[in-house]
Amino acid sequence: MAGSIIAAGVAGAAAVLALGLTAAGGAAVESQRIAAVADAAALAAADAASGAVAGEPCARATEVAGAQRASVTLCALDGLVATVTVGARYAGLPVSATARAGPPPVSW
């Protein structure tokens, strides 16, 4: 009888640990996905700012982020450099990432 109680406790603890690790892994994947969306949105905004593609830079960033189930929470331009913050939700919690894109800095 004592062995079955211990076995049930070990099985329960393993199930709780597996659930926690699965949630943590999913959060890590979502974090990387949102970072990639922020990169793509910033590149789209920078391309529009430079004239490489038509359109308003922040509208292009919003379009790219929306295609990936994310929303732009901040879009700022400093010349041809675009800084974009995107956000989404994972398991009911907010996830966000910020990226910058533009021409390389001039070095003399």
Task: Give the whole-number percent of the chain exceeding pLDDT 90.
Answer: 61
The predicted model scores a pTM of: 0.80
Q: Given a cut of 80, is residue 62 above it in pLDDT?
A: yes
Domain containing 79 equals 2-101
- CA 31, CA 29: separation in Å to the nearest integer? 5
Q: Are 83 and 42 in contact (CB under 8 A)?
A: yes
In this prediction, residue 9 carries a pLDDT of 87
Q: Are 45 and 99 in contact (CB under 8 A)?
A: no
User: Tokens for 21?
Assistant: 């690790």
Q: Given a cut of 80, is residue 36 above it in pLDDT?
A: yes
- CA 86, CA 73: separation in Å to the nearest integer? 5
Count: domains in the chain: 1
Q: Is the residue at 88 inside a domain?
A: yes
Q: At what angle do helices 57-67 and 2-50 cross, to 10 degrees?
A: 150
Q: Are 66 and 89 in contact (CB under 8 A)?
A: no
Q: Is the residue at 108 inside a domain?
A: no
How far, in whole angstroms, is CA 105 from its chain's centroid? 25
Q: Is the residue at 54 inside a domain?
A: yes
User: Which of 3-12, 14-23, 82-91, 99-108 has the highest average model confidence (pLDDT)?
Assistant: 82-91
Mean pLDDT of 32-46: 96
Q: Given a cut of 80, is residue 107 above it in pLDDT?
A: no
Q: Is the residue at 107 inside a domain?
A: no
Q: Is the residue at 106 inside a domain?
A: no
Q: Is the residue at 56 inside a domain?
A: yes
